[in-house]
Amino acid sequence: MSKHKPAAAAKPQDPSSQLDLRSGQSIELLKELHILTRDGKLNQDSRRKLKQVYHLFQFIEKLLKELPASEQGPTLADHGAGKSYLGFIIYDLFFKALGQGSIYGIETRSELVESSKALAQRLGFDRMKFLNLSVAESAHSDALPEQIDVVTALHACDTATDDAIAFGLQKKAKYMVLVPCCQAELARALNQNKALNLQRTPLAELWRHPLHTREMGSQLTNVLRCLYLEAMGYQVTVTELVGWEHSMKNELILAKYTGQKKRSAAERLTALLAEFGLQELAETRFKVGA
């Protein structure tokens, strides 16, 4: 009768091997954000969120490294910050070692702002500031500097992305990193003018049905945003944030300020607004006049 050796007890998995953590990365932060459990295991519910945030950080890190050196260091404003996953990860992986620069988390839910303030204090992340403001309000707040280097908006809902773009323009941002979400404003406008447009152009068939109206509104909103940014002096790249299996709100818009305002982009923007019966937005969201 053969004897079998008892199976060796499984060794606890190192969180570094689970998440491919960088040297010096704060395990305590990951626990506080509930990405890791208290005993250092990966919280499965946070896996997708973490994948998005890390992937987005790779884009942002590259931009931060391209900024010219300054006495005060880089400044970054994160709009619609929520629990500030993105801001904390950026600070932990970049700003902490840099020893200079500031991150501003902008969020309308006061309880999230207060919890982020408390967490930053516990971790000694003293150059993180959290403001209980809307994106639009933040553009006029004395709590932010006159110039911001990088503007981010991860899944800022509906017109909050447009407000983040307006903020970036006002603050002369060198880079904008945008992942739009819930683009409902344009869909409502398309729906309002649907009957007139169906008589005017066969293109209106593209948004005759409610489901198509929502999808068309989302697609058209981001096309207009890209043209607007180009018309205002930015070089624009559009790519995927992560695979579609992780998020349907997956479009990543990267804008780099060059100062070269594209007249052709402004003309195409105006033409598209006219074609879709959205001329009123030329005086509000997408004003490209002198």
CA 97, CA 91: separation in Å to the nearest integer? 9
Residues 135 and 227 in one domain: no
On whether both 271 and 241 belong to a single domain, the answer is yes
Per-residue confidence (pLDDT) for residue 44, from 0 to 100: 65
- Which of 129, 147, 182 is where one domain is finished? 182
Are 60 and 147 part of one and the same domain? yes
Cα(229)–Cα(221) distance, rounded to whole angstroms?
12
Domain span holding position 162: 47-169+176-182
Same domain, 200 and 126: no
Give the domain CATH number at 92.
3.40.50.150
74-111 pLDDT, tens digit each: 999 999 999 998 999 999 999 999 999 999 999 999 99
218 and 160 inside one domain: no
Q: How far apart are CA 103 and CA 144, in angstroms?
A: 10
**Distance (Å, whole) CA 217 – CA 209:** 12
Number of domains forming the structure of the chain: 2
Reported residue count of the chain is 290
Of 212 and 235, the structure prediction assigns the larger pLDDT to 235
**Which of 221, 220, 222, 289 lies closest to 261 in space, CA to CA?**
289
Q: Is residue 246 part of a domain?
A: yes
Same structural domain for residues 163 and 74? yes
Are 154 and 189 contained in the same domain? no
Residue range 182-231, pLDDT digits in tens: 777 888 888 887 777 777 888 888 888 988 888 888 899 999 999 999 99
**Can you read off the two tokens belonging to residue 119?**
């967490």
Q: Do 189 and 162 belong together in one domain?
A: no
Helix (H) or strand (E) holding 32: helix 27-32
- Residues 52 and 242 sit within 8 Å (Cβ to Cβ): yes
- 187 and 140 in a single domain? The answer is no
In-domain check, residue 6 = no
Question: Would 36 be classed as within a structural domain?
Answer: no
Tokens of 202: 């066969």
Of 182, 204, 221, the last residue of a domain is 182
Do 243 and 279 sit in the same domain of this protein?
yes
What per-residue confidence (pLDDT) applies to 200? 80
Mean pLDDT, range 139-147, rounded to an integer: 95
For residue 7, is pLDDT > 60?
Answer: no
Do 55 and 152 have their domain in common?
Answer: yes
Pick from 34-43, 111-120, 161-170, 229-238: least confident: 34-43
158, 182, 206 - which closes a domain: 182
Question: Is 119 among the domain residues?
Answer: yes
* Residue 4 in domain: no
Structure-token match 């006029």, residue found? 140
User: Tokens 């969020």 correspond to what residue?
Assistant: 107
- Name residue, tokens 């995927």: 240
Residue 206 falls inside a structural domain = yes
Mean pLDDT score of the chain: 86
What pLDDT sits at residue 245? 43
Q: How confident is the model at residue 35 (pLDDT cuts 50, 70, 90)?
A: confident
158 shares a domain with 56: yes
Residue 54 CB contacts under 8 Å (≥ 6 apart), including other chains: 89
User: Is 20 a domain residue?
Assistant: no
Q: What average pLDDT does range 252-269 have in this prediction? A: 96
| Cβ atoms of 206 and 184 closer than 8 Å | no
Examine residue 151 and state whether it is found in any structural domain, yes or no. yes
